[in-house]
Structure formats: C-alpha cells, structure tokens
Amino acid sequence: MYPPLDRFFGRRPFHSENPDVEIERLKKAVPIERLVMGFGVELKRHGAELIGTCPFHEYKTPSLVVSPKTNLWDCLGKCNVGGSTIDWVMKTKWGSACRQEAAEDAAFDGRGTNT
Ligand SMILES: [Zn+2]
C-alpha cells in the first residue's frame, strides 16, 4: 500500500545534483501519516482524512488534519501551520532548518516501519 521506499532510497545515499527535484519526490514518497504517527500523534480516520491532536500547541481539541491523498498536514487550530512531509520534519525536529537535512530525516523516518 505504500511506495517501495527501500527501493527508492536504497539505491544510493541521499544525494542529488538537483536537491529541489529530490525534495519534491520525497514529499510524495514518504507517507505523511507515518511521520505524524511516528511522532506519537494518534490519528483517527475522518472521511478521506485523518484527524489528531496537534503536538505544537496545548489545546486538546483535535485540530491536526492529515491528508494521505495530498500528503499534506495542517493545524486548523491555534498554530495555523501546515505543509509537506519536509515541513513536518523541520517543525518537529528543529522548528526550522536546512531543507536537505529535513529531507534526509523524512526518508529515514519513512523507512523505519514497514506496515
Ligand atoms: Zn496546532
């Protein structure tokens, strides 16, 4: 059900002469729900989307919307932030950081479990 991540990333270490292209591919290759659940957020299915409690603000009403279809996440509550898998890794790990490092991390986390 998931893209063949091992094959995608296994060929070579993360390296590209055109990192922007590689990052665009990574945004689709790593399932966003896997990264979010890997961070400890419990997601519940709500139609086509998954809903959970946003880990970036205190309020306990589920306001984090994760869309497997578009592979994007969004906090509709206090934070009002969202984005791609890369943005998630940057937000959870550093707040903001080098995009390529975040991409490497997304690749690694996405490969961690194989469900
Ligand atoms: Zn939030």
Nearest CA to 44 out of 71, 62, 70, 69 is that of: 62
Q: Ligand 1 mean position to 77 CA, how many Å?
A: 5
**How many Å apart are CA 21 and CA 27, to the nearest integer?**
10
| Sign of torsion over alpha carbons 41, 107, 76, 57 | positive
Q: Ligand 1 mean position to 80 CA, how many Å?
A: 6
Domain holding 72, by residue range, is 5-112
29 neighbors 5 (Cβ within 8 angstroms): yes
Q: Ligand 1 mean position to 38 CA, how many Å?
A: 17
Q: Ligand 1 mean position to 19 CA, how many Å?
A: 29
pLDDT at 60 over 60: yes
Number of structural domains the chain divides into: 1
Q: Which CATH number belongs to the domain containing residue 45 in this structure? A: 3.90.580.10
Q: Ligand 1 mean position to 91 CA, how many Å?
A: 11
Q: Ligand 1 mean position to 74 CA, how many Å?
A: 8
Q: What is the pLDDT of residue 108?
A: 74
- Give kind and range of the element (H or E) at residue 82: strand 82-83
DSSP output for 23-79: HHHHHHHS-HHHHHHHTT---EEETTEEEE--TTSS--S--EEEETTTTEEEE-SSS
Q: Is the pTM of this model over 0.75?
A: no
Provide the token pair at 43: 């997601």
Q: Ligand 1 mean position to 105 CA, how many Å?
A: 22
Number of Cβ atoms within 10 Å of the Cβ of 30: 28
Q: What is the pLDDT of residue 1?
A: 40
Task: Encode pLDDT of 88-113 as tens digits.
Answer: 988 887 665 566 777 777 777 766 54
pLDDT above 90 as % of the chain: 41
Mean pLDDT, residues 37-41 taken together: 94
